[in-house]
Amino acid sequence: MEQKKYWKGLEELHNTDAHQEIVKNEFSEELPFESESLLNATTPRRDFLKYLGFTTAAAAIAASCETPVRKAIPYVNKPEEITPGVANYYASSYTIDGEFVPVVVKTREGRPIKMEGNTLSTITNGSTTARVQGAVLSLYDTARLRYPSIGGTETTWAELDKQVTAALSGLGGAPVVLLSSTLLSPTTKKVIGEFLAKYPNSRHVVYDAVSYSGMLAANEASYGKRVIPSYRFDNAKVIVSLGADFLGTWLNPAEFCDQFAKTRKIDAKKPEMSKHFVFESTMSLTGANADERYTHRPSQAGAVALALLAAVGGNVTAPAIADKRVADGIQKAAKELKANQGKSLVVSGSNDVNVQIIVNAINNIIGANGTTIDFASPSNYRQGNDAEMAKLVADMNAGSIGAVLVYGANPAYDYYDAPKFVEGLKKVKLAVSFNERNDETTELCKYQAPDHHFLESWNDAEAKTGYYSFTQPTILPLFKTRAVQDSLLTWSGNTTTWADYLKNEWVAKLGGDQSAWDKVLQDGVIEPATAPALSGASFAGDVAGAAAKINSAKKGGTYELVLYEKVAIGNGRLANNPWLQEMPDPITRATWDNYACISNTLAQKFSTELGDDYEIHVERKVLKIKANGKEVELPLLIVPGIHPDVIAIAVGYGRSANTGKAAGGIGKNAYPFVSFNGQTFDYFSTDASVEATGSKYPVASTQTHNSYEGRPIVKETTLAEFIRNPKEVNEDRNELKKFGPDFRKDATLYPNYEYQGIKWGMSIDLNSCFGCGACTIACQAENNVSVVGKDEVAKGHEMHWLRIDRYFSGDTDNPEVVFQPMLCQHCDNAPCENVCPVGATNHSNEGINQMAYNRCIGTRYCANNCPYKVRRLNWRDWNGADSFENNLYDVADMNDNLTRMVLNPDVVVRSRGVMEKCSFCVQRLQDAKLQAKKEGHPLKDGAAKTACQQACSAGAIVFGNVNDKNSEIFKIRNEQQTDRLYYVLEETHTLPNINYLAKIRNKDAAPKAESAHHEEAHHA
């Protein structure tokens, strides 16, 4: 059969060339994806994955690159003394309202950014307070007056001078009054004297918002000298404070903390310490640090002093003290005072002349004069004269005053009868204010001639007779302000500038030697070569008269009212300081407000009390408090340890909106409750009434739970127990020995890292920490810690790297208090480090727990896992450091270009969403190491100091290299304080680099810590 041939098309049949070509190729058409052009393309198909991978990687890398660099403008002409990146230090003095702290100001690129205590001063020995630490921020306060003005309109100094001199000469002989708060500067006083000398009948009235006039008057009556003596708490074995908060607000706390701390350090070989009694109405910082504390009504203050005088053997009849506890306490205190004749001291915070005379009499009997009280170099801390002030206001109202020049004082706000002062000021022909802000008084003055901030000024100060200190400008004046002394010199026709005047004065005093003046400015202080021997003064007070007046004082009503100063805000002068406003009050832990402090017993009358419900709500019941015909509505705050019938309110709040964004409208003004007894101001009212209003108001506290629940995080014992068995306080550490001889190595499966070279460590002595909070503010200033404002504090969003935990224990009406500074413990086995998914927190080979802010993504896992809860998230954009527009959260002008000048350029500003915490001031440590390296020697102990350590006036914080056998920290840990030393939560094997030294109370009762283990811990 013939093979049939089938064909598909004519091409095949004829077998054309074209067809043959097609047959040869497997595919009739070229495959589109295998064409030469595609395979040879720049990105061929087969390289797709390669390119995909590359572009993804490239995009990832590009995305992780930094945003464009913004360049700063360098100096065109670099000032000789400024090296960018290197700090300059200038000695200066903090002398606001008579509080005296010589300081060293750190400036960077011409900006003052931090103040430290001047260690050359033997008065304060380098101590500071929270207010001193915060004062640098006030330099950059946006609410400062920026120019001279007349009637609210900006003017030139020349115009102002012209008008003021014209007005002064047109007074027609009416007296000119310079009204100031306490001034420590002798040269300024000289300038004032020269100015006033030009005007007949003129006078200088010194008025202190919180007055010590009673004490001055009492001393005049007792010793014939209107002075405040120097107190030497460091020489005292027994200290009795009758409502004098010398650790917090009384006269000069920086000095007294330093002195008192010396009596509270425990030498393990020979344990002894001072015994400290406090009799007071409210719970003060000093009361919180008392060994024995008793509360009484303010109306009883005189009676308590009298009873004490009687008990120490004074020739008075002791009034009956109804409260047996207090009566016993007086006997006990008297016994101790007598037993320590010449080594004891009684101080009183009363502004009542008679009470102070009684106190002088006690001190005379117990031999305090010349031992713990020194009249050889009396202090000038307060000079206010209440009676003169009252007379001035009366004269003003009578229209007999020609001109009032206000310098530093603010009576329109803090005078007890402010409306009367305001009325009087209207009747004065010429009102000039030198105040640096448009405060309540300044806004009423036609002429505003703002003074420099003290960091821009020249000045001197004589804190104590013979002890001088200086103020020099650390920055050119930021605004068109002028030194008050320059104004006065100009108005008195003297053409010398104040700077020259001061210099001439001192160069002359120093024997015409310019280099001596330079040296003085460098040191900041002049002190007698040898301190004058302590000397007393002969007591000649009218004890019987004073006692009679005290006994005839009217008895208190149902409730009584006490006004007090807060440690941070004081009399209100620095109220517009956001750092200080946000500083938790040492006792109440509340921020940004004043409130009516009442006891738990009194609170129960308003159906509220300490407990879970009170803790979990920030809303507090508002009370209406009436006294002296005035009334105020304030939220209540329960403060254990306040007398059950007493309401305590802090002064310094309720400022006008012009005072500044931070202070304006916060709290209520309590000064109207002050009364004038004809001689001095009384900062209490013996007859107050209190009622509920039905409304509520939030109070932002940083700590709501008051008890440490008997947990061994705080260890304390009594001196007697400690002497009997020094090991007892740390008995629970024996349990750790079960793991083996070395808990560090034996209690873990993991290998131990040996720290070679430097290993940083800190020791905090709970016995000398008084809880004043200077460290908190020092840390804030040093590390650019953000201010968050009241609402955010109420939400638990405050940023402080270092907080001071305050725990009450025992009875709610008579509690014991312990302060525990709590900051990152820099654990060597840190729970935070291993949980961070991105490794943003890690450990340095010097033992520092580090934060890489740029790496942090804000999961907060580290903070959750931190047993000490010291990590702080930037919950919002506090400082404009993120790239979102218009989401800045700034309630206190902390981000104004002016305010930002306070930022420490060595510490990065953290952006929103990142975690931060104590860094052990790593910038200071690096600086110290670098310095040592440049100088070619190993790091010396003490060369690297943390900000908190440096700020502490009690020396409670010791920091250093624990690998250095000569370091103080090494000695504390291994030689001196082995019995008291413990680590918080040591049993969790976090291996903290901060140790604490157990607190020791000089009291007879059994230690609370021990009983707390057995009993149900009391919710204080």
Q: Residues interacting with another protein, by CB under 8 A?
A: 57, 60-61, 63-65, 612-613, 615-616, 703-709, 711, 713, 792, 795-798, 803, 805-807, 820, 822, 831, 834-839, 855-861, 863-865, 867-869, 871-877, 882, 884, 887, 889, 911-915, 984-985, 988, 990
Q: Which is nearer to another protein, 882 or 968 (CB)?
A: 882
Q: Which is nearer to another protein, 454 or 819 (CB)?
A: 819
Nearest approach, Cβ of 659 to another protein (angstroms)? 27
How many of the other CB atoms lie within 10 Å of CB of 38?
Answer: 14
Nearest approach, Cβ of 285 to another protein (angstroms)? 17
Q: Which is nearer to another protein, 289 or 435 (CB)?
A: 289
Q: What is the CA radius of gyration of the chain?
A: 34
**Length of the chain (residues):** 1020
Contact 917, 872 (CB under 8 A): yes
Q: Which two tokens stand for residue 256?
A: 């007294």
Q: Which is nearer to another protein, 1 or 65 (CB)?
A: 65
Q: Which residues are CB-neighbours of 288 under 8 A, at least 6 positions away?
A: 586, 587, 641, 770, 771, 806, 817, 819
How far apart are the C-alpha atoms of 952 and 130, rounded to whole Å? 9
Q: Which two tokens stand for residue 163?
A: 């008008």
Q: Which is nearer to another protein, 413 or 868 (CB)?
A: 868
Contact 93, 455 (CB under 8 A): no
**Cα dihedral across residues 917, 923, 924, 929: positive or negative:** positive
Q: Which is nearer to another protein, 528 or 831 (CB)?
A: 831
Q: Which is nearer to another protein, 171 or 856 (CB)?
A: 856
Nearest approach, Cβ of 892 to another protein (angstroms)? 16
Which long-range CB contacts under 8 A does 554-558 form with residues at least 24 apart? 554/299, 554/686, 555/299, 555/686, 556/297, 556/298, 556/299, 556/300, 556/645, 556/686, 556/687, 557/686, 557/687, 557/688, 557/689, 558/645, 558/687, 558/689
Q: Which is nearer to another protein, 562 or 914 (CB)?
A: 914
Q: Which is nearer to another protein, 889 or 959 (CB)?
A: 889
Q: Which is nearer to another protein, 418 or 764 (CB)?
A: 764
658: DSSP letter:
G
Nearest approach, Cβ of 810 to another protein (angstroms)? 15
Nearest approach, Cβ of 818 to another protein (angstroms)? 11
Nearest approach, Cβ of 831 to another protein (angstroms)? 5
Q: Which is nearer to another protein, 121 or 707 (CB)?
A: 707
One-letter identity of residue 1011: S
Nearest approach, Cβ of 836 to another protein (angstroms)? 6
How far apart are the C-alpha atoms of 222 and 537, rounded to whole Å? 9
Q: What burial letters (b/e) apply to 919-945, b meaning 16+ CB within 10 Å?
A: bbbbbbbebbbeeeeeeeeebbbebbb
Nearest approach, Cβ of 714 to another protein (angstroms)? 10
Q: Which is nearer to another protein, 349 or 584 (CB)?
A: 584
Q: Give counts: helices (H), strands (E), the chain.
A: 33, 41
How far apart are the C-alpha atoms of 563 and 600, rounded to whole Å? 19
Nearest approach, Cβ of 155 to another protein (angstroms)? 43
Nearest approach, Cβ of 880 to another protein (angstroms)? 12
State CA 254 to chain mean position distance. Answer: 11
Q: Which is nearer to another protein, 7 or 54 (CB)?
A: 54
- Residue in the block written with tokens 């310490």: 273
Q: Which is nearer to another protein, 106 or 806 (CB)?
A: 806
How far apart are the C-alpha atoms of 355 and 348, rounded to whole Å? 8
Q: Which is nearer to another protein, 677 or 704 (CB)?
A: 704
Q: Which is nearer to another protein, 366 or 836 (CB)?
A: 836
Nearest approach, Cβ of 140 to another protein (angstroms)? 25
Nearest approach, Cβ of 1013 to another protein (angstroms)? 9
Beta bridge partners of 525: 469
Give the β-pairing of 447-448 and 430-433: parallel
Q: Exposed/middle/buried for 965, CB within 10 Å: 0-12, 13-18, 19+? A: exposed
H helical segments located in 824-982? 831-835, 861-865, 922-935, 947-951, 968-971
Nearest approach, Cβ of 835 to another protein (angstroms)? 5
Nearest approach, Cβ of 304 to another protein (angstroms)? 33
Nearest approach, Cβ of 744 to another protein (angstroms)? 17
Contact 849, 823 (CB under 8 A): no
How far apart are the C-alpha atoms of 446 and 415, rounded to whole Å? 20
How far apart are the C-alpha atoms of 306 and 358, rounded to whole Å? 6
What is each CA distance from 572 to 411, 455, 499, 650, 701, in whole angstroms? Answer: 12, 19, 29, 10, 20
Estimate the crossing angle of helix 301-311 against helix 543-552, to 10 degrees.
Answer: 140
Q: Which is nearer to another protein, 562 or 799 (CB)?
A: 799
Give the β-pairing of 646-650 and 149-150: unpaired
550 closest CA partner among 558, 559, 541: 541
**Cα dihedral across residues 527, 530, 532, 533: positive or negative:** positive
DSSP string, 753-794: PP--S--EEEEEETTT-----HHHHHHHHHTTPPP--HHHHH
One-letter identity of residue 317: T
Q: Which is nearer to another protein, 414 or 877 (CB)?
A: 877
Nearest approach, Cβ of 780 to another protein (angstroms)? 15
Nearest approach, Cβ of 97 to another protein (angstroms)? 32
What is each CA distance from 448 to 105, 145, 480, 482, in whole angstroms? Answer: 28, 9, 12, 11
- Residue in the block written with tokens 């002798």: 186
Nearest approach, Cβ of 582 to another protein (angstroms)? 14
State CA 68 to chain mean position distance. Answer: 39
H helical segments located in 417-529? 418-426, 484-491, 498-509, 514-523
One-letter identity of residue 619: E
